């Protein structure tokens, strides 16, 4: 990263332009983590992240406006229900909820309160981080007091996708439950995005196994997880060549460094995760993307629903 930034500074170029040349014009769709659970908010929910995806926006700036309005509306919904509005590690609210379904329902109420339509203006995305509750070959959802097999966990997700406007699930199964991932792909892989994070850890060898076995249709990219920018770029290129979507991501422990914003634009990643529209280390990335969109001017493009280009029948929901 230091060498890339030095090269960009020497040439007087923004980092995204230095990495990609003139082709960089695609802004990513933000996946905003507005309700935190799991290890990011102990005792809140079994699932770790509940995100909103503003696909109905005309540009990145409007997408952030939509996301911010829903985020603040969620605070009002939680307060009206007598639930706490403490903030989790990634800036999202961390109320004590009985189930993941309840978390989804309060977010849907917030979308409605903000004046938007779920399943049209915004979809939902989940990151259960299932490796955390995968124990002895079973999925232990302690808040819901149920223990599920891989098959039952896949059916659990299928019901969520059927009942709610969920368009993406990240780490829905344990990082070593490869058979479970194949079941999940067979069940939902044509209509929603299935993202591997712990499954791949931005590692080329694990990615190749996933591509060969058709274990998912998307990968999360964390540059400091694999260790070098060159390796991260190679993983992105390989995933995109396989027809997968790519999601450039922050970490739960973050700084105000904005490199991932430039990386998302440079690689035309399509998606970015940087937490809620709250806390300086999260907002820094989103603010950088707003600046990039301003710099690109009329050439800037926001993909919206087209970011899910590899879904055969993108989920519709009413």
Contact status, residue 88 vs residue 94, Cβ threshold 8 Å: yes
Taking the C-alpha atoms of residue 310 and residue 108, their distance in angstroms, rounded to an integer, is 26
Taking the C-alpha atoms of residue 153 and residue 134, their distance in angstroms, rounded to an integer, is 11
3-state secondary structure (DSSP) of residue 17: helix
Contact status, residue 132 vs residue 139, Cβ threshold 8 Å: no
Contact status, residue 196 vs residue 218, Cβ threshold 8 Å: yes
3-state secondary structure (DSSP) of residue 96: coil
222 is annotated as an active-site residue:
yes
CA-based nearest residue to 33, from 235, 243, 313, 285: 285
Catalytic residue among 49, 170, 222, 273: 222
Catalytic residue among 69, 90, 175, 281: 90
90 is annotated as an active-site residue:
yes
Burial degree of 301 (CB within 10 A; 0-12, 13-18, 19+): middle
In degrees, to the nearest 5, what angle opens at C-alpha 29 toward C-alphas 26 and 35? 160
Max CA separation in the chain (angstroms) = 58
Active site residues: 90, 222
């Amino acid at each position: 990263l230091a060498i890339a930034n030095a090269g960009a500074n020497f040439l007087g170029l923004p980092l995204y332009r230095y990495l990609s040349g003139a082709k960089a014009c695609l802004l990513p769709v933000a996946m905003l983590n507005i309700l935190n659970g799991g290890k990011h908010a102990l005792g809140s929910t079994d699932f770790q992240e509940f995100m909103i995806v503003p696909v109905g926006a005309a540009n990145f700036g409007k997408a952030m406006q939509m996301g911010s309005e829903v985020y603040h509306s969620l605070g009002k919904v939680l307060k009206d229900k007598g639930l706490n509005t403490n903030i989790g590690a990634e800036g999202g609210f961390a109320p004590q909820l009985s189930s993941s379904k309840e978390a989804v329902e309060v977010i849907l109420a917030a979308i409605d309160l903000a004046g938007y339509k779920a399943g049209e203006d915004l979809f939902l995305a989940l990151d259960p981080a299932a490796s955390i509750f995968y124990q002895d070959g079973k999925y232990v959802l302690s808040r819901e007091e149920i223990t599920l097999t891989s098959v039952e966990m896949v059916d659990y997700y299928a019901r969520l996708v059927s009942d709610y406007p969920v368009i993406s699930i990240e780490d829905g199964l344990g990082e070593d439950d490869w058979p479970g991932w194949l079941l999940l792909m067979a069940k939902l892989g044509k209509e929603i995005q299935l993202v591997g994070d712990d499954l791949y850890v931005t590692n080329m060898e694990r990615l190749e196994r996933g591509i060969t076995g058709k274990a998912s249709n998307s990968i999360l990219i964390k540059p400091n997880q694999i260790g070098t920018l060159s390796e991260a770029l190679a993983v992105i290129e390989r995933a995109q060549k396989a027809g997968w979507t790519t999601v450039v991501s922050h970490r739960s422990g973050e700084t105000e460094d904005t490199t991932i914003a430039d990386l998302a634009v440079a690689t035309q990643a399509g998606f970015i995760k940087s937490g809620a529209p709250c806390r300086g280390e999260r907002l820094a990335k989103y603010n950088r993307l707003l600046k990039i969109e301003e710099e690109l001017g009329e050439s800037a493009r926001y993909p919206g629903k087209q970011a899910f280009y590899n879904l055969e029948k993108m989920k519709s929901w009413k």
